[in-house]
């Protein structure tokens, strides 16, 4: 199993000691408080679960700018994207040394964490523009990640945090949400040494399933961790509970016993393409994976990124000693009518486009909405049935 990034052990910021946590919950009721953004709450969940080891909390502006520009903090330690707590107003917390952070995603806005306030800094328009351009590689507000990042406010509150709960993820997804600590423990309990992780924010069709089988076989892995995003998505994406049902059904029916686990993490999608791919690799190493699958258009949206930018960034921008985890580079996978199996398209040079079963996302959604299952060469029938039921319920 790989070591955590920059550390011998995970440093989860969730307060596991129950009596201490109860004391902090009581303290939080007396502290000045601020309702944070969904992104900042998701950062707290990831910090709490050990995924962002060894960060002690939210970055200050100097570290965030340094990370945006060169993927390292001012002390030289590696991190792929700024981890910020940006708020619109500091009227209720100005001058406070400790504050309660209220969760925007749970009814009643309960306290998700207590933060020590090291600094409150006003982020200039120029600084926001630079971070936006460096992380998202565009300033276009039509990009959902750019739009979200620039809507959180301009006051950056930095300092270490103590996490009191995992927001709605534990209650809404009790069988799926797992911390990096829990996944590491399960990998160890199963006796897996070489583990490949697969990221998804969508249901898995046959090509995704076969890509995982390919990676496991070629890398000689003991196990696969399917690790799905459970947080906020852009409009039109399939909800996490439907995706969870579809993926669990596929694994139960088409993967050997003790070869794959289905898990999820509490984070909002950035749609930041290459930079987000590096973040994905970062926290997959922290959860214990030795390998990570990155395919075409990983973590992208629209036409903002080249098809393989999320792979080449590991060669051109990530320092060679920054990560232990190894990247499994995949091309688009599809059913070959010549070979009667799923192949990576770049491994079938004698094929033309007509030799593959290819369906656009728009066409698949149309078929499912009409109650029509995609061909078996594209999607498992059991998965298609779950998705048809979802689309017909809208």
202 is catalytic: yes
Catalytic residue among 190, 202, 248, 329: 202
Q: Which of 330, 260, 324, 265 shows the shortest CA–CA distance to 294?
A: 330
List, in order, residues 6 or more apart from 392 with CB less than 8 Å away. 368, 369, 371
Q: Is 353 helix (H, G, I), strand (E, B) or coil?
A: helix
Q: Is 160 helix (H, G, I), strand (E, B) or coil?
A: strand
201 is catalytic: yes
Q: Which of 214, 198, 195 shows the shortest CA–CA distance to 334?
A: 214
- DSSP 8-state class, residue 309: H
Phi-psi group of 151: left, alpha or beta (phi > 0 → left; psi -120 to 50 → alpha; rest → beta) = alpha
> Would you say 173 and 241 are in contact if contact means Cβ atoms under 8 Å apart?
yes
* Radius of gyration for the chain, computed over Cα atoms and rounded to the nearest angstrom: 21
Give the number of residues written for the chain.
394
- Assigned token pair, 255: 């993967």
Q: Name the burial class of residue 54, with classes exposed (0-12), middle (13-18) and buried (19+) by CB atoms within 10 angstroms of its CB.
A: middle
> Would you say 338 and 351 are in contact if contact means Cβ atoms under 8 Å apart?
yes
Residues designated as active site: 201-202
């Amino acid at each position: 199993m790989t070591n955590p990034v920059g550390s011998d052990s995970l440093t989860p910021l969730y307060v596991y000691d129950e009596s201490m946590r109860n004391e902090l919950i009581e303290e939080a009721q007396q502290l000045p408080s601020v309702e944070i953004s969904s992104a900042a709450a998701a950062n707290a969940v990831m910090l709490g679960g050990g995924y962002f080891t060894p960060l002690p909390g939210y970055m200050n502006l100097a570290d965030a700018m340094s990370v945006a520009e060169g993927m390292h903090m001012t002390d030289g330690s590696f991190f792929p994207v700024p981890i910020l707590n940006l708020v619109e107003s500091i009227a209720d917390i100005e001058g406070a040394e400790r504050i309660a952070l209220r969760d925007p995603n749970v009814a009643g806005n309960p306290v998700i964490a207590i933060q020590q306030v090291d600094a409150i800094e006003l982020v200039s328009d120029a600084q926001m523009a630079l971070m936006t351009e460096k992380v998202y590689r565009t300033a276009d507000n039509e990009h959902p990640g750019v739009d979200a990042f620039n809507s959180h406010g301009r006051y950056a509150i930095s300092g270490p945090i103590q996490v009191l709960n995992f927001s709605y993820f534990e209650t809404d997804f009790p069988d799926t949400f797992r911390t990096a600590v829990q996944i590491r423990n399960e990998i160890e309990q199963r006796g897996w040494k070489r583990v490949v992780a697969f990221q998804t924010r969508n249901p898995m069709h046959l090509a995704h399933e076969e890509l995982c089988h390919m990676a496991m076989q070629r890398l000689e892995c003991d196990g696969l961790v399917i690790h799905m995003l459970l947080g906020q998505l852009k409009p039109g994406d399939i909800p996490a509970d439907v995706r969870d049902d579809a993926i669990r059904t596929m694994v139960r029916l088409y993967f050997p016993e003790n070869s794959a686990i289905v898990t999820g993490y509490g984070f909002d999608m950035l749609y930041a393409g290459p930079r987000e791919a590096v973040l994905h690799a970062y926290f997959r190493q922290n959860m214990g994976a030795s390998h990570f699958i990155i395919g075409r258009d990983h973590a992208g949206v629209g036409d903002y990124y080249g098809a393989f930018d999320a792979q080449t960034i590991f060669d051109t921008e990530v320092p060679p000693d920054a990560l232990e985890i190894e990247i499994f580079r995949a091309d688009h996978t599809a059913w070959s009518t010549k070979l009667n199996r799923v192949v990576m398209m770049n491994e079938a040079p004698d094929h033309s486009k007509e030799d593959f079963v290819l369906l656009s996302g728009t066409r698949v959604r149309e078929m499912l909405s009409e109650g029509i299952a995609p061909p078996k060469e594209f999607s498992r029938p059991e998965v298609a049935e779950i998705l048809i039921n979802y689309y017909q319920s809208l």
